[in-house]
């Protein structure tokens, strides 16, 4: 939408065609190009209130829409994401314009002022420009005191006292604290020969060349599933 907004109407004649999609088969690699039917259905769902379908819903929708042309789950997902975001964006502009007018010259009291909180809260209320929807958007609270990111000082459950986690992004201050110290040794040892055995924080140098736990799922789990001894390899440019 950055384009600014024209009146474009992507009418794509997918009329009776099974798929107006160019990549229908060859998988051309191009991006998904929804057919008119698909768009219609998606919009219908959106209008009905669907905004963030779950994975299952997405699958179901995908299956349904597949009758009208090639489509994948991610297409549906992205469609909703984009549509929602752009609707919001549009509305934001409208809201802005609305207030703009309002602020400039106070019109008569008969215009549909959303609520009473005009100008009381830092957040702006969406203009009443609902397309006959049952809901309105934008309750959105204002940007918070953008302080530091570490709002969650909690250690990862299960993390050992020693292995401190990177709770949250910190201020750009402390990170550069130390200059190039040699503490990088742990992670980026320079000696090609040995693997360090000290486990700094989470890095765990395991002499075991083949950890059995490679379940992707648990990777973030508290266990030290991540064995990253080979770091030095990577950074030393010597794969092995």
Binding window for DNA (CB under 7 A); candidates: 99-107, 143-151, 183-191, 229-237: 143-151
| Vertex 43 angle, CA 39 and 62, to 5° | 60
27 binds its own copies (CB under 8 A): yes
CB 90 within 8 A of CB 1: yes
Residue 34 contact partner, candidates DNA, its own copies, none, CB within 5 to 8 A by sort of partner: DNA
38 binds its own copies (CB under 8 A): no
Name which of residues 218 to 237 contact its own copies (CB under 8 A): 218-223, 225-228, 230-231, 233-235
The alpha carbon of residue 107 and the mean position of all alpha carbons in its chain are separated, in whole angstroms, by 40
* Of the candidates 3, 16, 146, 15, the residue with the CA atom closest to the CA atom of residue 86: 3
Q: Is 158 left (phi over 0), alpha (psi -120 to 50) or beta?
A: left
Name which of residues 93 to 152 contact its own copies (CB under 8 A): 93, 96-97, 100, 106, 108, 110-111, 115, 118-120, 131-140, 149-150
Phi, then psi, of 16 in degrees rounded to 5? -85, -5
CB 118 within 8 A of CB 98: no
- Options 168, 190, 192, 197; binder of its own copies; rule CB under 8 A: 168
Mark 47-66 with x for binding to its own copies (rule: CB under 8 A) and - for no binding: -xxxxxxxxxxxxxxxxx-x
CB 46 within 8 A of CB 53: no
Interface ranges with DNA (CB under 7 A) = 1-12, 20, 22, 30-34, 39, 51-52, 74-75, 78-79, 81-86, 88-89, 120-124, 140, 144, 146, 149, 151-155, 157-158, 160-162, 164, 169, 215-221
């Amino acid at each position: 939408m950055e384009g600014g907004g024209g009146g474009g109407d992507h009418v794509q004649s997918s009329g009776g065609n099974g798929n107006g999609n160019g990549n229908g088969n060859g998988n051309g690699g191009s991006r998904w190009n929804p057919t008119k039917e698909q768009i219609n259905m998606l919009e219908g769902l959106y209008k009905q209130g669907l905004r963030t379908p779950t994975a299952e819903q997405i699958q179901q929708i995908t299956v349904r829409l597949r009758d009208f042309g090639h489509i994948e789950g991610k297409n549906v997902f992205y469609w909703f994401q984009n549509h929602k975001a752009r609707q919001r964006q549009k509305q934001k502009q409208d809201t802005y314009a609305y207030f703009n007018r309002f602020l400039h010259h106070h019109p008569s009291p008969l215009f549909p002022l959303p609520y009473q909180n005009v100008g009381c809260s830092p957040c702006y209320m969406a203009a009443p420009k609902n397309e006959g929807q049952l809901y309105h958007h934008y309750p959105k609270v204002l940007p918070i005191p953008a302080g530091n990111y570490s709002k969650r000082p909690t250690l990862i459950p299960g993390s050992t006292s020693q292995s401190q986690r990177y709770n949250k992004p910190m201020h750009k201050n402390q990170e550069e604290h130390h200059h190039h110290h040699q503490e990088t040794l742990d992670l980026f040892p320079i000696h090609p020969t040995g693997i360090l055995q000290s486990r700094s924080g989470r890095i765990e140098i395991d002499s075991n060349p083949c950890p059995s736990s490679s379940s992707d799922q648990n990777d973030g789990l508290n266990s030290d599933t991540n064995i990253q001894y080979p770091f030095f390899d990577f950074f030393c440019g010597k794969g092995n």
